[in-house]
Amino acid sequence: MISTRVFVKHPDLALVPTIRSLPDVDLGVVSDAGTDPQHDAHFFWVETRDFEAFERELAADHTVESFSEIAQTESGRAYRITYSDEAKLVTPSVADVGGLVMESRSKDDGWLLELQLQSHDALYDINAFARREDVRFDVLELHQAEDTDVDSGFPLTEPQIEALMTAYVHGYYDEPRSILLSGLSDLLGISETAVSGRLRRGSARLIEATLVDSEDDR
């Protein structure tokens, strides 16, 4: 089991036109509200200085079919929003691989998602979907459910796992490469030298654990 925080961005992602037009708006999915099975409605908690401007942007947002305010407090308001057929969604791909979206919040001109996934392969499948849909998909954090090695035969540290998986998910090992060390450095928040070292040491440990015969077998 792994947990990860990712940033997704595309002009047709649900509510992104509204988010881009109102930089101060703070949207979060009300996760325990679920969806309306009859109308595929989604529920959001919204905080902004100007709710009239927010509703004007919603009305003009091509990813929104309809919306209505359902509650309000001094700090914000709750809205019921139905997406249009033009809205692009990433979260169904998470459900397709058996994952859970633990949190969804607006960030800059996209969405910050906290995901819980069964395996690294699931993360790769979601990233592959995003690439097919031309959705920017940045892995910001990646953690094992337990602070242990990947497996008893793979003596990797958590930073090495994070570096290797980030490189793999973002196409560092593709031919041609989809990302350079400088890009991995930005994603991981460490220097290019540190990224290179983690990849080199992590790869060496994987090779030792999987390909190099033990002394007894020589």
pLDDT of residue 192: 87
pLDDT of residue 38: 42
Residues of the chain with pLDDT under 70: 31-40, 145-155, 210-218
CA distance linking residue 195 with residue 41, whole number of Å: 42
Q: Identify whether the C-beta of residue 64 lies closer than 8 Å to the C-beta of residue 84.
A: yes
Q: Cα-flanking dihedrals φ and ψ of residue 2, to 5°?
A: -130, 155
Write the DSSP symbol of residue 118.
S
CA distance linking residue 143 with residue 1, whole number of Å: 9
pLDDT of residue 218: 45
pLDDT of residue 146: 55
Q: Identify whether the C-beta of residue 31 lies closer than 8 Å to the C-beta of residue 91.
A: no
pLDDT of residue 148: 43
Domain segments of the chain as ranges: 1-144, 147-218
Q: Over the stretch 52-90, which tens digit does the pLDDT of each residue have?
A: 999 999 999 999 999 999 998 888 999 999 999 999 999
pLDDT of residue 149: 43
CA distance linking residue 35 with residue 40, whole number of Å: 6
